[in-house]
Amino acid sequence: MRICLLAEGSYPYVVGGVSSWVQMLIKGMPEHEFFVYSIGAEESERGQFKYTLPDNLKGIQEVFLDEILNSKSSEMLENILSAHEKEVMRELVTGEKPIDVKELAKIFRVPGRFKSPLSIFMSSDFFDVIETVYHERYNYLPFTDFFWTLRSMLVPLFFLLQQELPEADVYHSVATGYCGVIGALAAEVYHKPFIITEHGIYSREREVEIIKSDWAKGDFKSVWIQYFYNLAKLSYLTANHVYTLFEHNAEVEISLGCDPEKIRIVPNGVRMERFEGIGELQPIDDGEPFTIGAVVRVVPIKDIVTLLRAFFLVKQEKDLINARLFVIGGTEEDEEYFSLCRQTVEMLHIGDVTFTGSVNVTDYLPRLDLLVLSSISEGQPLAILEGHAAHRPFVATDVGCCRELLHGEKNDTLGHSGVIVAPMDFQKMAEEIVRLARDFELRREMGNIGYERVRRMYTYERFINEYKNIYAHAMEGGG
């Protein structure tokens, strides 16, 4: 079987999270061939792979969005869209109705119809669509700004819709954004099944980023946010099945327009043998510092700044003045944010903070007394599963599946394997770190509960067997 995985802004350029999940999935099924269609932001990333590619990964098609955004405008074309096609384009812009990917294929997949992705956007027909939508919905905004905002949003999509599509037996997207639309299109073109695994809720994550961004100004934030919700609706509509990691995600997907009959829960899993040499938590020797770890990529969505503020407060306690913090994960993905984190350390005069960069996590876990996750958005974080597999307790923010992983789901009677705090609440985070730092027996009990929870419900073998069955079912015509 040949499986095409579609990824965006993750594998194989970024370590951890969704990328680790993709690598595990491919390596766990050597009997199948995989092909990755990867959408990146910048051409400079080409070939900069952070993983050793498995033997059964037969190729990677790299597509970069800055290629089209930097291209020159084409000449104005007249009468290139029919009345029906103009209406499809209008619905794509407004999101009033879920767009059928068949309609997009009819417009964008006709060989030789358009010389460039800009051909449609710079046509008089599409300009009419833009004007109509502007006067109906956005006439309180400057038209020129509205026009260029739509160009930034839609030209990358138009570009992707006209790219060469890999042929496969199953198309499997790891998000509902651009890669979800392209997966839907490829499945339509080749008449194959299309499935989605949504880790975090893509459209919600984009909303958080846009609200906090500087590049989207004022009321244009809502235009961008609605656009990504539109892409999600298209992906949900087309997919044969939508897999997600935990129940709350499924509820959000339904609220965003996904048919509940399509949704199924498939949790992540970890290789327990990777951590078998790390026993239960041990008391801290006299004179040794209390050691906190955070296994994260240093990017805004992980909110390292909140973690640093909390650690600053922890070190104000006389018995924890020698506490140390290891931030364990890559720092190169967002150099500006990494610089902000270092500036925060300097401004607050925080000692004993180490940014390790990309390292083997198992080398650090035995040295840690407590793990912290400060994210403002998550799916089902592998960092918690791996930390629990190493008998380590957590303080984590109440995002994604963190509460279920630390407190257990409805029928889970094991107990708490950590503490949940609100996102960005560095004071409460610090309080809980201090409380656990002073209670070794509680930390050890939580670490052991976390280990048992992962051993029972979140193993790599269980995860791989689920997806073997999913792919087999898709090939048998079950989609």
Specify whether 233 is located in the same domain as 290: no
Q: How many CB atoms lie within 10 A of CB 476?
A: 9
Specify whether 372 is located in the same domain as 428: yes
Specify whether 323 is located in the same domain as 413: yes
Q: Domain containing 51: what range?
A: 2-64+164-269+465-478
Domains in the chain: how many in total? 2
Residue 144 lies in a domain: no
Specify whether 21 is located in the same domain as 53: yes
Residue 86 lies in a domain: no
Specify whether 261 is located in the same domain as 277: no
pLDDT over 80 (residue 71): no
pLDDT over 60 (residue 433): yes
Q: What is the pLDDT of residue 78?
A: 83
Residue 225 lies in a domain: yes
Q: Categorize the per-residue pLDDT at 200 as very low, low, confident or very high, splitting at 50, 70 and 90.
A: confident
**pLDDT tens-digit readout, 398-426:** 998 999 999 998 788 999 999 999 999 99
pLDDT over 60 (residue 302): yes
Residue 153 lies in a domain: no
Residue 72 lies in a domain: no
Q: Categorize the per-residue pLDDT at 70 as very low, low, confident or very high, splitting at 50, 70 and 90.
A: low
**pLDDT tens-digit readout, 333-350:** 899 999 999 999 999 999
Specify whether 263 is located in the same domain as 290: no
pLDDT over 90 (residue 271): yes
Specify whether 321 is located in the same domain as 286: yes
Specify whether 294 is located in the same domain as 418: yes
Q: How many CB atoms lie within 10 A of CB 406?
A: 25
Residue 327 lies in a domain: yes
Specify whether 193 is located in the same domain as 331: no
Q: Of the ranges 179-193, 209-223, 376-390, which one carries the lowest mean pLDDT score?
A: 209-223
**pLDDT tens-digit readout, 143-199:** 999 998 888 888 889 889 988 999 999 999 999 989 999 999 999 999 999 999 999
CATH of the domain at 284: 3.40.50.2000
**CB distance 62 to 31 below 8 Å:** no
Specify whether 208 is located in the same domain as 330: no
Residue 114 lies in a domain: no
Residue 41 lies in a domain: yes
| Higher pLDDT, residue 109 or 439 | 439
Specify whether 265 is located in the same domain as 278: no
Q: Categorize the per-residue pLDDT at 123 as very low, low, confident or very high, splitting at 50, 70 and 90.
A: confident
Specify whether 176 is located in the same domain as 279: no
Distance (Å, rounded) from C-alpha 261 to C-alpha 237?
12
